[in-house]
Structure 1
Amino acid sequence: MTVRTDDVERARAEVGRVFCPHRLVPQAGVRSVRLRMAAHRVGGVGVIDLDYGQAVRIQPAALESFYLVQIPRSGSTTVRHAGRTVTSTPSLASVLSPYDASDMHWSEGSPHRIFYADRRIVDQELARLLGRPVDGPVRFDIGMTMNTPTARAWARGVDFLADELAQPADASLLDHPQVADRFEQGLIGQLLLAHQHTYTDLLAGPAHHPTPGRLVRQACALIRDHHGEALTVGDVAEALRVSVRTLQDCFRRELHTTPTAYLRGCRLDAARGALRAAGPGGSVTTVAVQHGFVHLGRFASDYRTRFGESPSTTLRR
């Protein structure tokens, strides 16, 4: 959805279609806005670029079914939510959880990039990370510092999602359902690890397992058998009934690597076989996407590190 309007009521209605009903009031003495909105969504996540062009007050009720991470591109926004108030800037995003109403004052000249996450997807990914069902509400801290390495990595993922979702039909890497699912889970998982919430202490707790060698052998066998599917490390942990943290700790102790690296290695090996078997007109991009690699530059770099040559060199042989 792309919307441009100067009419306050239309702006309120169109933004409400993307998010939820809310009250929208321009600053005193202003009768119009200069709304510019581009909204894209895939599965349970989305990116909305939103600019009112004027100072406005926005008052939504509890979001109920989704989370929002709101990152000002410039300017500032005062956000009151769940009994706390923060002044959000490009270095401090505001995070709205589904359970409380909000009262926000956007300054003039404060376009936002907003990440949307379905509540059900957040609960599912947290359950994978914990190794057990989520038994209570997941509330994020309202202020998210954006200048830490983990937050910057997550923000790059959001920017990549926005770029891909803005591509024409059949031109995005995320058109492939398995790739889109993996990327969705990765973004939600990274958010849960990058920002404080009610389950952060549990995620950071001790990760012991009585038989780490056996667990790793089972995980490796599962990955080898299913790496061609829409498999994530969270799926492996869930299948083995352990937390992602426990699985990661056991891999480090037993193999001195991570389950993510092991899964990537299996996929790289399979991609090499596919490149060798490709006939005339074969494509490195097609093979990479089919084997779950979204970032083509990272795929080429990892491939060269593992095999000592580029994917295109293998394809030409």
Structure 2
Amino acid sequence: MKSRLKPAAPEESFRFFGTDPDELSRALSTAASPIKVESAANQAMSFDCEFVSAGPVSFGFCTYEGDFRCKLEADSGKFVLFFPLRGNASFKRGNETFESKPGRGFISNGPALGTVRFAGPRQHLVMIVEENEMINRLHRMLEMPVRGPLDFHPDIDLTSGPGLILKDLAEATFSGLAQDAALRQSPLALSNLTGAMTDLILETVPHHFSGELARAAPSPAPRHVKRAIDFMHANISRPISLGDIADACQVSVRSLQKGFKDFKMTTPMTYLQHLRLEAAHKELQQASPALSVAAIALKWGFGHMGRFAVDYKLRFGQSPSQTLRR
């Protein structure tokens, strides 16, 4: 039986089903992140999947039969959580293999999903969170720039505690989007719900920044740190120096550096660069394709294009040119 795509609501949900591994490959792949599906020798397979979008967070409900593998061939720029309802799957990441079955979930680490083997019958719900959304929410929780991979611990206990809550919320959200679409009539409630789920993942699934989140809430930043941040916002596109910021706050450079280290866990200039990256990202999202990445980068104080591209991808999970083309 040939696979068929059925877009129930354009750009919001779609369903595909069939028996051809190549059709499943095409359905699961994007231009930037191809996925290769290979069935075991002489093994028949079938699939029936429905995906729904809620902005930076999406959900999918999939049923599979047969023995086959899926291999992620490029950085997806997304985190994928698997909530198994029936059957087994194994996720190979580097030299490690993790089993996924009812009661035991799995979370990918963006580009490090690796290879997945399904031994049908298999049924699972997935929650897909854009890397940029995850990092932005973590940044707001920590009140400091986030650099480097999150590196989630892949196993999630779904039988109790936060894992069970996540699973129940994912099922309820998918149902509200895919069946009666009731949640689509309440965009604010939907945004709050998916945001709360993303925060719950960050707060309860161990990752590289869990230690920072576990610390007691910091004391309010001193006045000169707040003044420095206000000055940065007011002069974000101007070539200001560390001395300029210190003078504007009427403190020494040393006091300014200590204030940011103690209350923002970074340096003043790194914090300024973070603000400028945010500004460049916002303009790239809204700009006409006729504008160049270089022009936007220069506007926001980035003179070295190579360094800008590296820092931008670390922060947002994609290159500046990919953001501009969207």
Q: TM-score range by the shorter chain?
A: 0.5 to 0.7
| 1:156 Cα offset (Å) | 1.4
* CA distance in 2 between partners of 1:103 and 1:3 (Å): 21
| 1:180 Cα offset (Å) | 2.2
Which residue does 1:11 correspond to in 2? 24
Which of 47, 50, 55 is matched with 2:67 structurally?
55
Which residue does 1:289 correspond to in 2? none
Change (3 A) 1:22 1:149: same
Corresponding position: 1:188 with 2:198: yes
- Give the gaps of 5 or more residues in structure 1: 212-241, 244-317
* CA distance in 1 between partners of 2:142 and 2:91 (Å): 30
Which residue does 2:210 correspond to in 1? 200
**Aligned sequence identity (%):** 16
Q: Which amino acid aligns with 1:79?
A: F
CA displacement 1:223-256 (0-9 Å, x = unmatched): xxxxxxxxxxxxxxxxxxx99xxxxxxxxxxxxx
Change (3 A) 1:210 1:101: closer
CA displacement 1:94-114 (0-9 Å, x = unmatched): 111113251111111111211
Q: CA RMSD in A?
A: 2.2
| 1:204 Cα offset (Å) | 0.8
The DSSP-based 3-state class of the residue aligned with 1:4 is strand
Which residue does 2:165 correspond to in 1? 153
The DSSP-based 3-state class of the residue aligned with 1:75 is strand
Which of 121, 124, 130 is matched with 2:136 structurally?
124
The DSSP-based 3-state class of the residue aligned with 2:121 is coil
* CA distance in 1 between partners of 2:50 and 2:32 (Å): 13
- Give the gaps of 5 or more residues in structure 2: 1-13, 222-262, 265-326
The DSSP-based 3-state class of the residue aligned with 1:183 is helix
> Scaled by the length of structure 1, what TM-score is found?
0.61
Contact kept, 8 Å, 1:45 with 1:116, in 2: the verdict is yes
CA displacement 1:194-223 (0-9 Å, x = unmatched): 211111111112324269xxxxxxxxxxxx
* CA distance in 2 between partners of 1:16 and 1:183 (Å): 27
CA displacement 1:155-189 (0-9 Å, x = unmatched): 11111110111135xx5234333222211211100
Which residue does 2:121 correspond to in 1? 109
The DSSP-based 3-state class of the residue aligned with 2:133 is helix
| 1:77 Cα offset (Å) | 0.9
Alignment of 1:112-261 (within 5 A): 112-168=124-180, 171-209=181-219
Which of 38, 41, 44 is matched with 2:56 structurally?
44
| 1:3 Cα offset (Å) | 1.1
Q: Which amino acid aligns with 1:97?
A: N
| 1:17 Cα offset (Å) | 4.6
Change (3 A) 1:62 1:100: farther
Q: Which amino acid aligns with 1:186?
A: A
| 1:86 Cα offset (Å) | 0.9
Change (3 A) 1:204 1:83: farther
Which residue does 1:25 correspond to in 2? 38
Q: Which amino acid aligns with 2:199?
A: G
* CA distance in 1 between partners of 2:23 and 2:124 (Å): 19
* CA distance in 1 between partners of 2:171 and 2:20 (Å): 29
Change (3 A) 1:52 1:19: farther
Q: Which amino acid aligns with 1:204?
A: A
* CA distance in 2 between partners of 1:77 and 1:100 (Å): 17
Q: Which amino acid aligns with 1:163?
A: S
Change (3 A) 1:62 1:142: farther
Q: Which has the higher strand share?
A: 2
* CA distance in 1 between partners of 2:220 and 2:192 (Å): 30
* CA distance in 2 between partners of 1:197 and 1:86 (Å): 17
| 1:83 Cα offset (Å) | 4.1
| 1:48 Cα offset (Å) | 0.8
* CA distance in 2 between partners of 1:207 and 1:198 (Å): 18
| 1:64 Cα offset (Å) | 3.4
* CA distance in 2 between partners of 1:149 and 1:124 (Å): 25
Q: Which amino acid aligns with 1:172?
A: A
Which residue does 1:85 correspond to in 2? 97
